[in-house]
Amino acid sequence: MARVYATGARSSSNAPASGGRHVRLVCRVLLRVHTALLLVQILFGLWPVAGSAVMQQMSPAALIGFRLMLGAPLLALASGLFWQRPPPLGDLARLAVLGALGISANQLLFAEGLYRAGPINASLSILLMPALTLVLTSALGIERPGATRWFGIALSFAGAALLLRVERFDLGDRTTVGNLMLLANISAYTVYIVAARPVLARLGSLRTMAWVFVFGALEAAPLTLPPMTRVAWLGLGPATHGSLAFILFGATIGTYLLNAYALRRVESSVVAVYVYVQPVIATLAAWHWLGQVPTLRTWVAAVVIVVGVALSSDLLAGLRKTRASVSG
């Protein structure tokens, strides 16, 4: 960027044209970045709906086995992992732990929770991640949130309590167990996000994600391979095969590559703003394709969670950065 400005400064007659070209270049880059971020949330939002449809034909563990066993080598190939020198042993050990937290435990808990609680609750639970991350980073002394952000955390958890129906808490209820699994899934992923920061800084986002996926797939294999062998893959219908293809290439490979592309060009706080699109996409898709109409309680819980997360993650600051990046 600086080179464009410098070239334009050599001649006063060329300065306006050079400046105009620079602005158009920045706008094109930002348009591609924000399009990528929006597409990521659409793909992530459709993943619970596609997963729910597939799990009518196979168990949650078999679906996650399919996603990990095929997704791991494809991500490794896309990141060039096969041609790179492996990280130091210390980082490999950390990547193995991150794989357990961020992939094997996270994915299996998510699929089991999705199977029991449905795609709408699954997408809403994801919104709790910023609040849980703030609680963890505060406990570790990494962040010092003010009163407004703490109020946002409390509001987020109140929305989660509404979703969990805590006043009629029953471990025998399928949806309650599913919601608890989704909460455990988000908690595991929150620990992963905080623990992954030093490794991400050393190895980069795409390389780290590829290694974590490989370790996660291997660690989940004892739980996913047996149910995978019981699936009559060739006997599945065209709609199921289409959903599986979307889960692998859209909701797995596509989302991680697009996220890595965006994170290299804008701040993570700008990326985080887009997570609010995800439950909207999931709810509308579940309503349209699965006939799952959200209840009034779900809408109220969603509003409470969204407002709480917006306060706890300082959404206004993120929106200001987004506006600043778009305006150049």
pLDDT tens track of the chain, all 328 residues? 333 333 344 444 455 556 667 667 767 777 888 888 889 889 999 999 999 999 999 999 999 999 999 999 999 998 899 899 999 999 999 999 999 999 999 999 999 999 999 998 888 888 787 778 778 888 888 878 788 888 888 888 888 788 766 666 567 788 889 989 999 999 998 899 888 888 988 998 889 999 999 999 999 999 999 999 999 999 999 999 999 999 999 999 998 888 878 767 766 556 666 777 788 888 889 888 888 888 888 888 888 888 887 777 665 555 555 555 545 5
How many Å apart are CA 210 and CA 221, to the nearest integer? 17
Residue 84 DSSP class = S
Q: How many angstroms separate the Cα of 169 from the Cα of each of 161, 172, 176, 304?
A: 10, 9, 7, 20
Q: Which long-range contacts (CB under 8 A, 24 or more apart) does 226-230 make?
A: 227/58, 227/59, 227/61, 227/62, 227/65, 228/61, 228/62, 228/65, 228/66, 228/69, 230/59, 230/62
Whole-number pLDDT of residue 299: 86
- Answer yes or no: are the C-beta atoms of 196 and 98 closer than 8 Å: yes
The three-class DSSP label of residue 117 is helix
How many Å apart are CA 150 and CA 131, to the nearest integer? 9
Whole-number pLDDT of residue 2: 33
How many Å apart are CA 266 and CA 319, to the nearest integer? 12
Whole-number pLDDT of residue 11: 46
How many Å apart are CA 198 and CA 87, to the nearest integer? 13
Q: Is 291 left (phi over 0), alpha (psi -120 to 50) or beta?
A: left
Whole-number pLDDT of residue 117: 92
How many Å apart are CA 124 and CA 309, to the nearest integer? 11
Give the count of beta carbons closer than 10 Å to the beta carbon of residue 107.
26
Q: How many angstroms separate the Cα of 103 from the Cα of each of 56, 92, 110, 171, 189?
A: 23, 15, 10, 26, 8
How many Å apart are CA 9 and CA 2, to the nearest integer? 11
Whole-number pLDDT of residue 74: 94
Contacts for 106 with CB less than 8 Å, ≥ 6 apart: 185, 188, 189, 192
